[in-house]
Amino acid sequence: MPLQDILDRNVINLHVKGQNKDEVLRDMSRMLFEQEYIEDIDLFVKDIYLREAEGATGIGNNVSIPHGKCKAVKKIGIAIGRCEHEILWESSVEDDGWQQTRIIFLFCVSADDYGKEHLKLLAELAGKLGSSQVMAKLQKAESKDEIIQALLN
């Protein structure tokens, strides 16, 4: 499933207010719950933290890509959040193991689809995020549609 098929403006928030990682993950999970991507916020967040324990999901450039496989997922998606404040996030690319994060791509993948769909989507997204032009557009976007266009062009 290509990235363009799962980008959904209903699970994009350009004004995430959370002050820390847990608040941000819960806010974004609530958005997924309200749009019927998941059926249990607590279980979904728990599974994200299980995956986080295996390796940091901060990828540099103020971006983090938390993800995990969860039986509470009803349909594949990616919630996108841009925080109003930078938050501290574990990183595999920073020397001290931490980074300031402002943009989060929260993968929502069922346990059944994890292997076949998750890695394809992650690779496609990572390729987009490797572009300084895309990153600049994501930082400056003023609408959900601008976020989507930055990722598709």
Domains of the chain in start order, with CATH, are 3-152 (3.40.930.10)
pLDDT in the model for residue 144: 98
The set of residues, in sequence order, having a beta carbon less than 8 Å from that of 54 and lying 6+ positions away, is none
pLDDT in the model for residue 66: 96
Distance of CA 88 to the CA centre of its chain: 15
pTM of structure: 0.94
Q: Which tens digit of pLDDT belongs to each residue from 28-58? A: 999 999 999 999 999 999 999 998 999 999 9
Long-range contacts of 127-131 (CB under 8 A, 24+ apart): 128/3, 129/59, 129/61, 129/63
Q: Which tens digit of pLDDT belongs to each residue from 102-131? A: 999 999 988 776 666 778 888 999 999 999
